[in-house]
Amino acid sequence: MEKVNVCIVGTGWTGTNHFNGYQAISEKAMVAAVVAHSDASKAKAETWGVSKIYRSFDEALRDDEIDAFNLCTPHYLHAEQLLACLGAGKHVLGETPACLTIEECRALRVAMFEYPNQKAATGHICRSWPTFAHAREIVSGGGVGDLFYLSSNYAHKADPDEYPSRLTWGRSPRAQMRLGIAYHSVDLLRWVAGDIEEVSGDYTDHARLAILKFRNGAMGKVFTSASVVRPYIMSLSVYGHGGTIVCWWEEEVLHGYLHKSAEWDPERLTTTPLHGRGSPEWAYEMENFVDSILEDTPLACPLSEGIATVETCLAVEAAMTHNTKVKVGT
């Protein structure tokens, strides 16, 4: 295979970003088809110049010329469509969250076992942000020593018109769990520090807090709110015995700092423009997925990792509901 033929399912904000990501790596991949259920979606796909526009996902699955599917659909469809793609012999990148229930987590794990030769990824886009990737590289290289605490804030009082498809994403009550889309923060901390073994949490109408205990002994915290009056924030703080990393938005740029002492003399990390506004992470995510198919290289976020993040978030939901600590995966 010299080039991967991709079918994008869904043409909303996320699908458009994915399409642009593939356009940036046109020497490796081509968006050969789009599944567009509505007339508006079909009209948008036509502006992309895609040769095949299907109105049915099942019909697209039967196209032998499609190598891989890219799912940019509402949350409640993810597990069903991931299973269908694997069963049809297709590689697949599914948007987050990978699924919504423990039963779906288990079904996807079984499917990964049954179809080991197909690439299956979850689109946790923070793993493709250069600033966060630089932070993880430092941590993995021992640059902050042994970890003892991590945190991430996801706070965003968005303009109601900014994400018009959010009501479609949240059509299932399961998509409105108390952490909401702060599963991105949970996945970011898991990516940096490893698996989480136990969680607890609490919430009010305006603030939700998850407390995480990692298998390596570190503690963690995720804060999320849709009531904070400020621009979008997706932050990362990592504390180790040999240093501290802080990644924070300043105006429309994500900056990162590595502190090795109490003096203000930090090493500056790679910066990243505001997410979804000309930033490069979509091209990086698509290229990683395509390279994994063409060259059998590791996925930035294999489906197994997406499932593990969902399992962690479901444990947080149970901990908040019952006001107790919960072991992840139980």
pLDDT in tens, 139-164: 999 999 999 999 999 997 766 666 55
Alpha-carbon Rg of the chain, whole angstroms? 20
The boundaries of every CATH 3.30.360.10 domain in the chain are 129-275+310-327
Task: Return the SS3 of 119.
Answer: coil
| pLDDT above 80 for 277 | no
Across residues 184-195, what is the average pLDDT? 97
> What count of other Cβ atoms lies within 10 Å of the Cβ of residue 49?
7
Q: Which CA distances in Å does 32 have to 83, 129, 159, 238?
A: 21, 26, 34, 41
* Distance (Å, whole) CA 194 – CA 217: 10
DSSP secondary structure letters along 152-221: EEEE----TTTSTTHHHHT-SGGGG-TTGGGHHHHHHHHHHH--EEEEEEEE-SS-EEEEEEETTS-EEE
Mean per-residue pLDDT for 47-67?
Answer: 96
Predicted confidence at residue 161, as pLDDT, reads: 65
**Tokens 């250069």, located at residue:** 130
pLDDT at 18 over 70: yes
Determine the pLDDT at residue 158.
67
Higher pLDDT, 211 or 170: 211
| Cα 175 to Cα 223: distance, rounded to the nearest angstrom | 18
Query: Above 90 in pLDDT, residue 25?
Result: yes
Q: Which residue has the tokens 């793993």?
A: 127
pLDDT-based confidence at 232, cuts 50/70/90?
confident
**Three-state DSSP class for 59?**
helix
User: Which structure tokens are listed for 19?
Assistant: 């399409």
The one-letter code for the residue type at 245 is I
Average pLDDT over residues 42-66: 96
Decide: 80 and 107 in contact? Cβ < 8 Å.
Answer: no
CATH of domain 4-125+282-301: 3.40.50.720
pLDDT at residue 103, as a whole number: 96
DSSP secondary-structure letter at 302? Answer: B
pLDDT score for 23: 95
Task: Please give the average per-residue pLDDT across 115-136, as a whole number.
Answer: 97
Please tell me the predicted confidence (pLDDT) of residue 170. 54
In which residue are the tokens 């991709």 written?
6
Q: What is the mean pLDDT of the chain?
A: 93
Would you place residue 40 in the very low, low, confident or very high pLDDT band (cuts 50, 70, 90)? very high
pLDDT recorded at residue 179: 87
Rounded Cα distance, 124 and 240, in Å:
25
Weakest-pLDDT range from 121-135, 151-165, 238-252: 151-165
Residues of the chain with CATH 3.40.50.720: 4-125+282-301
Q: Which residues are 224's β-sheet partners?
A: 154, 208
Q: Pull the structure tokens for residue 148.
A: 């003892």
| H or E element, residue 20 | helix 13-23
pLDDT score at 299: 98
What confidence category does residue 226 fall into, taking pLDDT thresholds of 50, 70 and 90?
confident
In whole angstroms, what is the distance from residue 180 CA to residue 242 CA? 33
Q: Find out whether 211 and 221 touch, Cβ atoms under 8 Å.
A: yes
pLDDT of residue 252: 86
Q: What's the pLDDT at 90?
A: 98
pLDDT, residue 246, reads: 98
Q: Is the pLDDT of residue 69 over 80?
A: yes
Type and span of the H or E element at 256: strand 253-259
pLDDT for 293 beyond 90: yes
What would the CATH number be for the domain defined by 129-275+310-327?
3.30.360.10
pLDDT of residue 202: 95
Q: What is the pLDDT of residues 83-122, one digit of tens each?
A: 999 999 999 999 999 999 999 999 999 999 999 999 999 9
pLDDT beyond 80 at 168 = no
* Residues in CB range of 231: below 8 A, 6 or more apart: 249
pLDDT confidence bin for 28, thresholds 50/70/90 = very high
Distance of alpha carbon 318 from alpha carbon 48, whole angstroms: 43
From the list 312, 153, 135, the residue with the least C-alpha distance to 240 is 135
